[in-house]
Amino acid sequence: MTSQALPALDPKEKSSYRDQICHFFIDSIESGSLSAGTRMPPSRELADRLGVSRDTVVRAYEELKRLAFIESDSTRGYRVSTRKISRPREAPPETRSANLSAYGRKILSRLDSSPLISDFAQLNYGGPPLDLLPVKRWRNCLKTAADKIGSFDHHPELLGKPELRKEIAAYLHRNKQISARGENVVIFTSTISATNLLCRILMNAGDCLAIEDPGFGGIKDIAALQNLEIFSVPVDEEGLIVDELRKAPEPVKLVYITPGKQEPTGAVLSLERRKALLSWASENDAWIIEDDFDGFFDYGKSKLPAVAGIATMNRNDRVIYLSTFWRLLYPLTGLGFCLLPDSLKAVVEQGKIEVEAVAESATQIALTLLLEDGYLEKYTRRLKAHYLDRRNRCIENIRTLFGQDLELKGGGSGTQLNLKSARYSQEELFAAANNSGLPLISTAGYYLSEKPDGSFNLDFSIMSEVEIDKKCREFFKSLNP
């Protein structure tokens, strides 16, 4: 204890003592001052040294544990997590940019504007809560894959294991109303890799890419790095406004959409607009990338067919369907896949060699086993039931506590609710979220147009119902002292 530096708590700071303690240890861990496995000061001892209550230290430790910076057991107390990867927070020296290519300099210039992956630790990086993951089943599938390893052909399959591609095609038919064949499914280590390759294959520098505004930030990074022109299309409660595509100043070559659950608004693209988008694409000889990254959880309404499903029924070959198992299974696996029209199979297979390695065979076999016996769908239904209860509890708390002071949007699908407030500022909401531990995410980074003040997304999936009640009350008290 005496050899470790202590937090310097400042009563004049706006942030609470708990948050100041958290920030001190996060900085120490990320800078490498506290290495993995280092024992944390006992909570009672640290409280005495800092002159605060033990409860304040315990709450700080629990927050650090939730963010995966520290871990604990019943015998050893708290220690710096062995799972957390330290990274320096300093930007790379500017002088190094002189040694980079134009592409490298462009990546470097986007460091400040692109969120770091570690910023999403408290949300488990978009995966499900760790306590709900099917760890035992996954372990058994990996063991079975290892036992069967001799019976599989180990020739590197650039498009993915045929067995897995076949199971994914069947899964899409059952769950997304897409008539698919395994030979049209391509396995990727991530959907970002797939999107990057598809944009390179389908577009030249200077071509026009239409995206949702607000919308997913990753596609903006890809467009910037490939020198694509962006045409931003506004979104309303029915999703992307298709008629706005006709206002593009130049021909749109490709449209990137998230119709199942639009971020950050939570809007679901209506059936009428799905059909209108397909008609527009046919008329304009344009491609559609349908990213269904969060399309596993829908609540209440009848499920709409995927845009790709409508396209196959109408013999429209302009849609490329993307999805990932990240939302269901990360960190067990984050494999993604795309469903291609026949006309793109050969070029994607050849192009894939240049952008990523072949996904590990054992992981693909294990995922095949989860799919072929129907377990993944049973697990998804259980996860959805948990999420529905948590979603409803969040909505009930927010409406009861805040009335009209917080506007709720979205929630028809996915794992987040969109919150907007005319009464509270962005700074007030963010400070209250920090004080209460409520997992709010600013929506500012999703916008190309004017960014709204006081707009956040609330991730309800990672909190138990008891935590939701407690944190929502504390959030309200922080805003209404």
Identity of residue 140: N
- Angstrom distance (rounded) from CA 371 to CA 330: 16
Query: pLDDT tens-digit profile of 326-346?
Result: 999 999 999 999 999 999 999
Is 273 in contact with 302 (CB distance < 8 Å)?
A: no
Query: So what's the pLDDT on residue 81?
Result: 80
* Mean pLDDT estimate for the chain: 86
Task: Read off φ and ψ for residue 324, nearest 5 degrees.
Answer: -150, 155
Burial class, 202, CB count within 10 angstroms (exposed 0-12 / middle 13-18 / buried 19+): middle
Query: So what's the pLDDT on residue 234?
Result: 96
CB pairs under 8 A, 24+ apart, for 38-43?
38/79, 38/80, 39/76, 39/77, 39/78, 39/79, 40/70, 40/77, 40/78, 40/79, 40/80, 41/1, 41/4, 42/1, 42/77, 43/78
pLDDT at 195 over 60: yes
Distance of CA 395 to the CA centre of its chain: 21
Query: pLDDT tens-digit profile of 211-247?
Result: 999 998 889 989 999 999 999 999 999 999 999 999 9
The structure's pTM equals 0.78
Highest mean pLDDT among 29-43, 54-68, 163-177: 163-177
- Angstrom distance (rounded) from CA 363 to CA 146: 10
Query: pLDDT tens-digit profile of 247-269?
Result: 999 999 999 999 999 988 889 99
Is 452 in contact with 421 (CB distance < 8 Å)?
A: no
- Can you tell me the mean pLDDT for 405-413? 85
Query: pLDDT tens-digit profile of 363-404?
Result: 999 999 999 999 999 999 999 999 999 999 999 999 999 999
Query: So what's the pLDDT on residue 429?
Result: 86
For the chain, domains (ranges, CATH) are: 17-80 (1.10.10.10), 91-126 (no CATH), 132-373 (3.40.640.10), 378-479 (3.90.1150.10)
Query: So what's the pLDDT on residue 127?
Result: 86
pLDDT at 121 over 50: no
What percent of the chain lies above the pLDDT cut of 90? 51
Is 81 in contact with 70 (CB distance < 8 Å)?
A: yes
